[in-house]
Each structure stands twice: as structure tokens, then as C-alpha cells.
């Protein structure tokens, strides 16, 4: 059993390009609080974090870039070519990550927590877990994903795959093996079945989220519900229609995107009139799809959708909310101000994880709206 009373902890691991992050997101859709331990590794030595000075003391100030952050590329080049340096870095970082994961598990409102970590089985994180899940995929599928998603050559992809510890050892240690051959439908069925089989108390529960209802004041009632894979056609139609073709999606596109984000659906008098596509990654919320019917009151509609995204984000312990609206919605400046958002650029956000998340999602000529959701951040100096 895990050492956190009242929590059931799933440890999720697997080699590169086997679909760990997609499975973690699916577990989040099913109601788990999820943690990307590997992302926390970078936070452990960010400026202002407890590992920052320790890394500089160990390896030197030459690693610092113009913004005072440790340059990950320089650090990576150093440690990946020197096993002793890698061990020194892990000695600094891993205890901090374990502390952060333990804190997040204890702070989570959800009774089920899933922790994704590439080296889950090699360290102390394993001791926290009640069930070990391993994602597995044929080598050809791994190669195809790495070539498509990371623009690697076939030789580079194979080099990265073969550089990791044997996948067979991870599979042998697993309580649950999820075989990911590339079909989202099949993957969802496997994860859902394993969830019902393994997690205490969920065998007979309905994972459909509760609908939040809010009076629309002018007429009728707004309702927000969490989108599920069964809503994929509805979501695709809404995004394509309400974006006026700027974001054209099919049901298959939506099913694939469920591996990265969640959707909130806005209804007015039972009719779908809006959608928000969002994700919490590395404790940062990004809303990259936000569309509202023109005929509805934009103030009440946006306020309803955004507050529901924020509520769900707070349950996932998100520190900041980043919204990337199209120009028509971005022009509602007074409304965004009322909701606590302000226009920003990535470099002004202060926290490295927030900056990187914003820069990754912000398109050329796009608008970034920012709101801090909580003051108490993980991995700050004690």
C-alpha cells in the first residue's frame, strides 16, 4: 500500500513513445489527480527553486543564461555524456521531486492519484504506489511516433529507444500493462477497464461529471458539463462551426486530442452554445480552444465557461491560467479584466514553467491572457 493515508496511488511508467502521457490524461478524465514527475524535475532547479543553487555549486555558473535560469541544453549536454555527472544531478534533483510528489498527493482532493515517471521503478516513487501500470508499444510504433512528433530520423529514433532500459523489465514489474498500438478507442477501452478493475470503489460508479447550472439572467439557464469521448462528434461540430472554420476538426481529431486536453461544453436551454478545450500540464492551465455562439450574452457565457475551467484547474492544483482566445473574444477587454485576466507576453510571467508553457502555445500574432490561481507554489525554497 502507498504511504499516503486515504489515497490510492497509481504509478505509471513505460519507455519513450509508448503513450505514458496519453494514459495519464485518460486517468485524469476518469477522475484521478495526475502528476508528471518528469516535468517536476525541471522545476526542481529553476531559478528560485531549492535545487537551483545546488546545481550551480556542483557544475558551475557557466550554466546560467541571460535570464538567470539554468540552461537546460547546456546541462543536458553535460550530463548525458557523463554518467557520473548524471548521477550527481539525480542525487540533487530526485529527493526534491519525491518531496514535491508527496506534497501534491497529500494536497490532492481526489482519492486516486496517478504519478507518471520514466524512472518510477528505480527510485523511491515506487514505494508510494499501490498499483504499477506500464505502457507498452511495438518498436515500429515507437519509431513512427518519434519521427512524426519529434522530427527525428529513423536512426535517431532507434538510438533513443535502445538507449533506455529494457521495456520487458518494466512489463515484468507491472500490475497492469496497457498496450498502445496507436488506436485511441482501443487505448481508452483498456484504461477504462483497468480503472474499474483496479481502483477501489469505482466498479459501479458513473464517471460522467456533474453538470454545473447557472441562471442566464436574460432567459433560460446555462449549464456546463465535462466532455467525454462519446461527445467527440458534438465537440468537433462546435469547434468547426463556432471558429468559422479557423479550427476545423473531425470526431477522430477530437478523440486524438483527448490524449492531451479536456473539454468543457456550454449549454443554454439544453442546446450546445460554447466549448472550451484546456489542459493542466506542469501545474499550468492552458485554454487553447475557446468558442461561443454569437447570439448568446458573451459576458455570462464566458464567465460561466472560464469559471468552470478554473474550478476544475484548482482541483488539479494549477498555479496559473493561460488563455489564448481568437481576436473577437480577446477584444472583450473589460470582461477579461472583470474575470481577473490581463494581457501579457510570455517573458513577463516570471516563473519559468509559466513562460515556457505560454511560449509553446502562443501563435504568431496571438493574444495571451494571464491569471495567477494560487500563491503557494511547489518546489519553492524552504
CATH number, domain containing residue 282: 3.40.630.30
Look at the chain and report how many structural domains it folds into: 2
Q: Is the pLDDT of residue 139 over 90?
A: yes
Q: Is the pLDDT of residue 379 over 60?
A: yes
Residues 244, 285, single domain; the answer is yes
Among the ranges given (79-83, 238-242, 287-291), the one the predictor scored with the smallest mean pLDDT: 79-83
Residues 153, 231, single domain; the answer is no
Query: Is 204 contained in some domain?
Result: no
Predicted confidence at residue 182, as pLDDT, reads: 79
Q: Is the pLDDT of residue 205 over 50?
A: no
Q: Is the pLDDT of residue 144 over 70?
A: yes
Mean pLDDT of 35-43: 94
Query: Is 207 contained in some domain?
Result: no
Query: Is 153 contained in some domain?
Result: yes
Residues 186, 82, single domain; the answer is yes
Give the CA distances from residue 81 to residues 76, 87, 221, in Å, rounded to whole numbers and listed in that order. Answer: 8, 12, 60
Query: Is 115 contained in some domain?
Result: yes
Query: Is 377 contained in some domain?
Result: no
Residues 175, 225, single domain; the answer is no
Task: Write the pLDDT tens digit of every residue in 145-162.
Answer: 999 999 999 999 999 899
Query: Is 337 contained in some domain?
Result: yes
Residues 147, 249, single domain; the answer is no
Q: Is the pLDDT of residue 263 over 70?
A: yes
Mean pLDDT of 292-315: 95
Predicted confidence at residue 53, as pLDDT, reads: 96
Query: Is 380 contained in some domain?
Result: no
Q: Is the pLDDT of residue 17 over 80?
A: yes
Predicted confidence at residue 245, as pLDDT, reads: 86
Residues 30, 126, single domain; the answer is yes
Predicted confidence at residue 171, as pLDDT, reads: 96
Q: What's the CATH code of the domain at 38?
A: 3.40.50.300
Mean pLDDT of 97-122: 95
Predicted confidence at residue 377, as pLDDT, reads: 82
Query: Is 34 contained in some domain?
Result: yes
Q: Which domain holds residue 269?
A: 212-372
Residues 221, 319, single domain; the answer is yes
Q: Is the pLDDT of residue 284 over 50?
A: yes
- Sheet containing strand 131-136, edge to edge, reads 33-36, 112-116, 8-13, 131-136, 176-179
Q: Is the pLDDT of residue 344 over 60?
A: yes
Mean pLDDT of 360-366: 94
Average pLDDT of the chain?
92
Residues 220, 79, single domain; the answer is no
Predicted confidence at residue 218, as pLDDT, reads: 46
Q: Is the pLDDT of residue 266 over 90?
A: yes
Q: pLDDT-based confidence at 382, cuts 50/70/90?
A: very low
Amino acid at each position: 500500500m502507498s504511504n499516503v493515508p486515504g489515497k490510492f496511488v497509481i504509478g505509471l511508467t513505460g519507455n519513450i513513445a509508448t503513450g505514458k502521457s496519453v494514459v495519464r490524461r485518460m486517468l485524469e478524465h476518469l477522475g484521478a489527480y495526475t502528476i508528471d514527475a518528469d516535468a517536476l524535475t525541471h522545476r526542481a532547479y529553476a531559478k528560485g527553486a531549492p535545487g537551483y543553487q545546488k546545481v550551480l555549486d556542483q557544475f558551475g555558473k557557466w550554466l546560467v543564461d541571460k535570464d538567470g535560469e539554468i540552461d537546460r541544453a547546456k546541462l543536458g549536454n553535460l550530463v548525458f555524456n557523463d554518467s557520473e555527472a548524471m548521477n550527481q544531478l539525480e542525487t540533487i534533483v530526485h529527493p526534491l521531486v519525491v518531496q514535491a510528489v508527496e506534497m501534491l498527493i497529500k494536497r490532492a482532493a481526489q482519492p486516486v492519484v496517478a504519478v507518471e515517471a520514466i524512472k518510477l521503478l528505480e527510485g523511491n516513487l515506487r514505494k508510494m504506489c499501490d498499483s504499477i501500470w506500464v505502457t507498452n508499444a511495438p518498436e515500429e510504433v515507437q519509431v513512427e511516433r518519434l519521427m512524426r512528433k519529434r522530427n527525428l530520423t529513423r536512426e535517431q529514433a532507434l538510438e533513443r529507444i535502445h538507449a533506455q532500459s529494457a521495456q520487458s523489465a518494466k512489463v515484468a514489474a507491472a500490475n497492469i500493462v496497457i498496450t498502445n498500438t496507436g488506436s485511441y478507442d482501443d487505448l481508452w477501452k483498456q484504461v477504462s477497464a483497468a480503472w474499474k478493475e483496479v481502483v477501489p470503489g469505482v466498479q459501479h460508479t458513473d464517471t460522467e461529471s456533474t453538470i454545473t447550472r447557472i441562471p442566464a439572467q436574460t432567459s433560460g439557464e446555462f449549464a456546463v458539463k465535462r466532455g467525454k469521448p462519446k461527445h467527440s462528434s458534438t465537440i468537433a461540430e462546435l469547434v468547426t462551426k463556432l471558429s468559422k472554420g479557423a479550427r476545423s476538426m473531425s470526431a477522430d481529431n477530437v478523440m486524438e486530442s483527448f490524449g492531451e486536453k479536456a473539454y468543457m461544453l456550454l449549454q443554454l436551454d439544453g442546446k450546445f452554445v460554447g466549448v472550451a478545450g484546456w489542459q493542466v500540464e506542469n501545474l499550468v492551465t492552458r485554454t487553447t480552444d475557446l468558442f461561443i455562439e454569437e447570439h448568446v450574452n458573451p459576458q455570462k457565457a464566458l464567465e460561466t465557461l472560464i469559471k468552470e475551467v478554473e474550478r476544475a484547474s484548482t482541483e488539479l492544483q494549477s498555479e496559473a491560467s493561460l488563455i489564448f482566445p481568437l481576436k473577437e473574444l480577446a477584444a472583450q477587454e473589460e470582461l477579461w479584466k472583470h474575470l481577473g485576466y490581463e494581457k501579457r507576453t510570455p517573458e513577463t510571467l516570471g516563473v519559468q514553467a509559466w513562460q515556457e508553457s505560454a511560449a509553446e502555445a502562443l501563435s504568431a500574432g496571438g493574444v495571451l491572457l494571464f491569471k495567477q490561481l494560487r500563491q503557494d507554489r511547489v518546489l519553492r525554497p524552504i
